Structure 1
Amino acid sequence: MITRSGARTPGAPALLCLPGTMCDPVIFDGLAEATGTDVLVAPWLEWPGPHEVARLGERVAETAAEHGPVVLLGHSTGAVIALCAALHDRASHAPAVRGVLCCDSGANMRGHGDVDAIIDRVARNWGPELWRAVARRSVHLPPPAAVAELLDAYPAGLDREAVLAVLRSQRDTDLLPRLGELAGLPALVVHGRFDTARTPEHARELARALDAPEPVLLECGHTPPVELPAEFGAAVAAFLQRLS
């Protein structure tokens, strides 16, 4: 399922947005207005399996080809899937991806604060208490109450086994050796300075691997689109403007 908002100039790329694991796609609300372009949201954890990041990347690349041209915007795990999609797209006969924007992620999970603990908690304690804890951990600045409620409740509609599959797959994936294959593809990394799972150094390593500018560091946590929506939207809009 793809949700859509906004309207784009004919021929201009749409934003194809991928949320993080257990993260409600509501985080991308407002991007159409902020950027003046069409925003497509792919809720990949709601899709039928398999849920390994490479396979999800292939499906996102197929979605990009169907709706392209697009700029991929991935948050957290969604950024890893976006990078897998961009790699797959590069190998196609008619590439549809015009750029990639990664938010609070990394090329691998070395140094990630607590991935194994999260996997263990998902396996053992799946339920509202865990969902709230993950949502709270993912922000430094509290989002509006209505959005916080959606973030707390979103995992209730997900399959725990899908969540475990993607987290284990991401933990075991290292894209660093392959990101050179994306040479020439415009890229931007945006990162929350107070992210407790991913440090700014993760962002800098990813930006170097993508030959992207220095990361845009925002004064927030792991989820800039809802913590600082105006600043995040401005960074995305500026990136799209440079592409045009």
Structure 2
Amino acid sequence: MTRLHYLTTRDNARIAYRLDGAPELPLVVLSNSIGTDLHMWDGQIAALIEHFRVLRYDARGHGASSVPPGPYTLERLGEDVLELLDALQVRRAHFVGLSLGGIVGQWLAVNAAERIERLVLANTSAWFGPQDQWDARIADVLEADDMQGTTAMFLGNWFPASWLEPLRAEVEPFRATLLGSNRHGLAGSYAAVQETDLRRALSSIRVPTLVIAGQFDTVTAASHSELIAGAIAGARLLTLPAVHLSNVEFPREFDGAVLEFLMER
């Protein structure tokens, strides 16, 4: 029996989501990296549901959600979260986002701060560099014969080399998800990253914020996290000896830091 639910957004996309934990507990939203689905957070659920109700969702173009024609905008990705909260009749929630999910979290904290209680931004950036560099990446994923090369690229960016040869059990679900990904969903999401430049807006964020960096992250360098934490008043910075998916590589440390931050009074 599936535990997925579906929301049809105002622009007629179908967003798959899942709820875990007791309904009376405060809600925390978990938001994904490009190329993953809501199962990227499987390792966090047992710890979180002791204290929170957890909302996970497949970003548009990913997993069991629909793949609307791209390009996607960051505003639209943020509105997907707001529509989910509205549908669940939740006025305020905690938000934990990694990579693209962290970009969405920044947008929400700038544009809908009244909906966010506390914010965790993991392995993310406010700006990913000149826009034109993304044109080739979008073309590559759309023109490739299959997903093998894209999958290898993502895995190499996400995990230590020692996890890939031989492939560790933790990596296999991510490999399978990437191989089954819809290229148009990836390209649409790349476009949202391409347009992102939140550097000037960061100083307007007043939501309590924890920033988690990966010391060996080549996608969102630790310096990107340092910039975010330095720009948001009162933000805290935790650097883990991780590559990009710090929640998978160091789950105990990640979960401990997130729980301590979200439960602080």
TM-score, normalised by the number of residues in structure 1: 0.85
Paired residue type of 1:159: N
C-alpha distance in 1, partners of 2:234/2:188?
A: 30
1:127–1:156 CA contact under 8 A, matched in 2: yes
- Secondary structure at 1:176 match in 2: coil
CA shift for structure 1 position 120: 4.3
Matches within 5 A, 1:1-244: 1-7=16-22, 10=24, 12-35=25-48, 36=50, 37-44=52-59, 45-46=61-62, 47-48=65-66, 49=68, 51-67=72-88, 68=90, 69-90=92-113, 95-110=114-129, 118-125=137-144, 126-140=146-160, 142=163, 145-183=168-206, 185-242=207-264, 244=265
Q: What is the percent sequence identity of the aligned residues?
A: 23
- Judged with a 3 Å threshold, the aligned counterparts in structure 2 of structure 1 residues 214 and 88 are, in CA distance, closer, same or farther, namely closer
Letter in 2 for 1:65: D
Shift of 1:19: 0.8
Q: Check whether the contact 2:217–2:244 (CA below 8 A) recurs between aligned residues.
A: yes
C-alpha distance 110-129 of structure 1, shift in aligned 2 (>3 A):
closer
CA contact 2:209–2:236 (8 Å) conserved in 1: no
AA matched with 1:187: T
Which is further off, 143-152 or 37-46?
A: 143-152
CA distance in structure 2 between the aligned counterparts of 1:153 and 1:187, rounded to whole angstroms: 33
Greater displacement, 163-172 / 29-38: 29-38
Aligned mates of 2:221, 2:153 — CA distance in 1: 20
How far apart, CA to CA, are the structure 1 residues paired with 2:40 and 2:156? Answer: 14
How many corresponding residue pairs?
235
Deviation of residue 218 (structure 1)? 0.5
* 1:168-200 superposed Cα distances (whole Å, 9 cap, x missing partner): 2212211122233322x1111111111012221
Amino acid at match of 1:40: L
More helix by share: 1
* AA at the equivalent of 2:153: A
Separation in structure 1 between the aligned mates of residue 99 and residue 74 of structure 2, nearest angstrom: 12
Q: 1:177 and 1:17 mapped to 2: Cα distance?
A: 25
Residues 1:171 and 1:57: Cα distance change in structure 2 (over 3 Å):
same
Residues 97 and 162 from structure 1, CA distance in 2 versus in 1: closer, same or farther, beyond 3 angstroms?
A: same
Write out per-residue CA displacement over residues 70-108 of structure 1, whole angstroms, 9 at most, x where no aligned residue: 111111011111222333323xxxx33211111101111
Output the amino acid matched with 1:154: T
Deviation per CA, 1:6-32: give whole Å up to 9, x if none. 336x3x532201111002322211323
How far apart, in 1, do the equivalents of 2:157 and 2:96 lie?
Answer: 21
* TM-score computed with the length of structure 2 as normaliser: 0.79
CA-CA distance at 1:5 after TM superposition: 1.9
Using the alignment, how far apart are the partners of 1:120 and 1:61 within structure 2? 31
Moved over 6 A (4+): none
Is the contact made by 1:135 and 1:152 (CA closer than 8 Å) also made in structure 2?
yes
